[in-house]
Structure formats: structure tokens, C-alpha cells
Structure 1
Amino acid sequence: MAPDDPLLDILVCPLDKGPLTLVDAGEALYNPRLRRRYPVLDGIPQLLPSSGEPVPDEEHARLTRRSGP
């Protein structure tokens, strides 16, 4: 998934319905509020609640630092 993909404007977390951030060179979408990462496989976001994985504190710090202003 590319950073300029128009789908990023409409994709939301399946749990809290908030916006997601593209991380890890387009291989995942991240919800910093719930600290959950959803994989992007072959360009297709896997947004089932069960496909999200919890992110530990160190990983959360890395992901929010990278996606911040």
C-alpha cells in the first residue's frame, strides 16, 4: 500500500472506528490509540478485529515517532 493511496482517507480501525496510520513501508496500518497493528498483505489491508495484533511499548514509541510530524 502506498502513502498516497486514496483508501487511506477512508480506512478506519474496526474496533474504535478511528483513523489508521500507514507504517513499516506500507506493510501495516497502525492505530496508536489502541496500540494495534493490522497487516497489509499483497496491498490488501487485513482489517478484521482478529487480524490486529497488540504492540508493545517500545514498538509503539518507534511507530509514533516515525509517523509523527
Structure 2
Amino acid sequence: MAEQTLDSTLLSLLACPQDKGPLSLVHDGDGASLLYNPRLRRAYRIDNGIPVLLVDEAREVSDAEQERFSAQG
């Protein structure tokens, strides 16, 4: 999967739909970009440059991913 980036202005405006807090842009093991909420340990995918900020579409983050994502940002 190709790495995707988001404009920094857009990233600063985005919020988690569940707790309304800020999200971090991180990269998973495959190089794909995700929006990550460290408070809830949930990740939202980005499809073709479009953030999918749906609570039902978010995925839980494992302990190993939590450590890796925390180191990224």
C-alpha cells in the first residue's frame, strides 16, 4: 500500500469522532498512513487521501502498535 500524507492544515482541523480530541498521523507496518487516537488506542484509515472518521470503521491498536505509534509522534 502506498504511503499517503495529509495537509498539515487539514490534520490540525481533524478530530476523533468519538472523543473529539486531536489525532496524530502515523504509519503502520505496511507503510500506510493512519489517523491515530492515543487516548482511546484507535486508528482510522485513510483511503485515497480521504480520512475515514467513522467510529464503526476504526480499529483497536495492539500493544506493539501503541509503542510504535507513540515513538512516531
TM range (shorter): 0.7 to 0.9
Q: Which runs of 5+ in 2 are unaligned?
A: none
Deviations 1:30-52 (A, max 9, x none): 00000000000000000010111
Q: Runs of at least 4 residues of structure 1 off by over 6 A?
A: none
Query: Structure 1 residue 10 and structure 2 residue 13: aligned?
Result: yes
- Equivalent pair of 2:6/2:49 in contact (CA under 8 Å): no
- Equivalent pair of 1:27/1:41 in contact (CA under 8 Å): no
Structure 1 residue aligned with 2:38, among 27, 32, 43? Answer: 32
TM-score by length of 2: 0.83
Q: Which runs of 5+ in 1 are unaligned?
A: none
The aligned counterpart of 1:43 is 49
Q: Distance in 2 between matches of 1:48 and 1:34?
A: 14
Q: Distance in 1 between matches of 2:10 and 2:32?
A: 13
Q: Distance in 2 between matches of 1:4 and 1:11?
A: 11
Identity %: 46
Structure number with the bigger relative contact order (C-alpha 8 A, sep ≥ 6) is 2
TM-score by length of 1: 0.87
**Could you say what secondary structure the match of 1:64 adopts?**
helix
Aligned length: 67
Q: Distance in 2 between matches of 1:14 and 1:44?
A: 15
